[in-house]
Amino acid sequence: MDLNTKYTPQSWPDHPENTTLEGKNKFTGFWLFLGGETVTFASLFATYLALKNKGPSGMEFTTQDLFELPLVFIMTMLLLTSSLTSVYAMYHMKNYNFKAMQAWLMVTVILGLAFLGFEIYEFNHYVHLGFTFGQSAFSSAFFILVGTHGAHVVVGLGWIILLMVRNAKRGLNLYNAPKFYLASLYWHFIDVVWVFIFTVVYLMGVVG
């Protein structure tokens, strides 16, 4: 099968992400990779829960007076919405509508960048309060857990932008369709992890 064959919406397969063997391999491999990622984050969450609010004697920082839910709520909404827009993008990918897919991916990227901006603001704020990476075990665990998620957001954004730029002129084919699909899968995974961070770190930190 020639990977650069031109398709029409009629001839475009139902599951372009795993029509070719290469696509199918990537699809399976990426799901397995996300399984490994899940274990990574599970380890980080377990460590965070063990070290939550732990620091040198007399440490003043606790989750209760550090975290502010309104800011985190806005971030959550931004990221959840970006996940939805990436679903729209994949909907159009499956309908062989390249322009609409690119447009929705663009919205996804903008929402992701906004999330990232808030996160940088948040981290910066904590550092100014004196809650630096090396301040306590709690701060190390917090920054590593949330920071690893943030690094995933950066990688995800870079990946989606690269795909959009690289394929801007040539449209969809069975070679790049799996790539778009996997990037969106990765984006969903980042979103799911954030749901847990929102619950375990922020919500249970302030309310629990």
Partner 1 sequence: MSSIAQKKGFGATLWDYLTTVDHKKIAILYLITGGLFFVIGGIEAMVIRIQLAQPDSDFVSAGLFNQMITMHGTTMIFLAAMPLLLGFMNAVMPLQIGARDVAFPFLNSLGFWLFFFGGIFLNLSWFMGGAPDAGWTSYASLALASPGHGIDFYTLGLLISGFGTLIGGINFLVTIINMRAPGMTYMRMPLFTWTTFVASALILFAFPPLTVGMVFMMVDRMFDGNFFDHTMGGNTIIWEHLFWIFGHPEVYILILPAFGIFSEIFATFSRKRLFGYSAMVFATVLIGFLGFMVWAHHMFTVGLGPTANAIFSVATMAIAVPTGVKIFNWLLTIWGGSIKFTVAMIYAVAFIPTFTAGGVTGIMLASAPLDYQLHDSYFVVAHFHYVIVGGVVLGLLAGLHYYWPLMFNTMLSEALGKWTFWLFFIGFHLTFFIQHFLGLLGMPRRVFTFGANQGWDLYNLISSIGAIGMALGVAVLVVNIIRTIVKNEKVGRDPWGDGRTLEWAVPQPVPFYNFKQTPLVRGLDTFWIEKQEGNKEGMTYAEPVGDIHMPNNSFIPVVISFGLFVAAFGALYNGEQPWAVPVLILGLVITFGAMIVRSLKDDHGYHVHKEDLMDEKGGKH
Assess contact for 17 and 27: CB atoms under 8 A: yes
32 forms part of the interface with partner 1 (CB under 8 A): yes
Q: How far is CA 119 from CA 69, 76, 98, 188, 205, in A?
A: 13, 11, 31, 18, 17
User: Which residue, 168, 166, 170, is CA-closest to 3?
Assistant: 170
Smallest separation, CB 73 to partner 1 (Å): 28
Instruction: By CB under 8 A, name the one of 35, 58, 99, 128 that touches partner 1.
Output: 35
Per-residue contact string for residues 135-174; x = within reach of partner 1 by CB under 8 A: xxxxxxx--x-----------------x---x--------
192 forms part of the interface with partner 1 (CB under 8 A): no
Assess contact for 202 and 66: CB atoms under 8 A: no
Assess contact for 196 and 41: CB atoms under 8 A: yes
- Using CA atoms, how far apart are residues 171 and 21, in angstroms rounded to an integer? 21
Instruction: By CB under 8 A, name the one of 6, 15, 28, 64 that touches partner 1.
Output: 28
Region 66-125 residues binding partner 1, contact defined as CB under 8 A:
none
58 forms part of the interface with partner 1 (CB under 8 A): no
Assess contact for 143 and 123: CB atoms under 8 A: yes
Q: Which stretch binds partner 1 (CB under 8 A): 32-40, 95-103, 104-112, 114-122?
A: 32-40
User: Which residue, 73, 155, 147, 191, is CA-closest to 139?
Assistant: 147
Instruction: By CB under 8 A, name the one of 5, 6, 15, 54 that touches partner 1.
Output: 54
Alpha-helix residue ranges (DSSP H) falling in 54-176: 63-66, 69-94, 98-129, 137-166
Query: How many residues sit in the footprint of partner 1 (CB under 8 A)?
Result: 35
Instruction: By CB under 8 A, name the one of 59, 71, 106, 203 that touches partner 1.
Output: 59
Q: Which stretch binds partner 1 (CB under 8 A): 45-53, 66-74, 104-112, 199-207?
A: 45-53
Handedness of CA 79, 81, 84, 90 (dihedral sign): negative
**Which stretches of the chain bind partner 1, using CB under 8 A?**
3, 21, 24-25, 28-29, 32-33, 35-37, 39-40, 43-44, 47, 50-51, 54-56, 59, 133-141, 144, 162, 166, 175
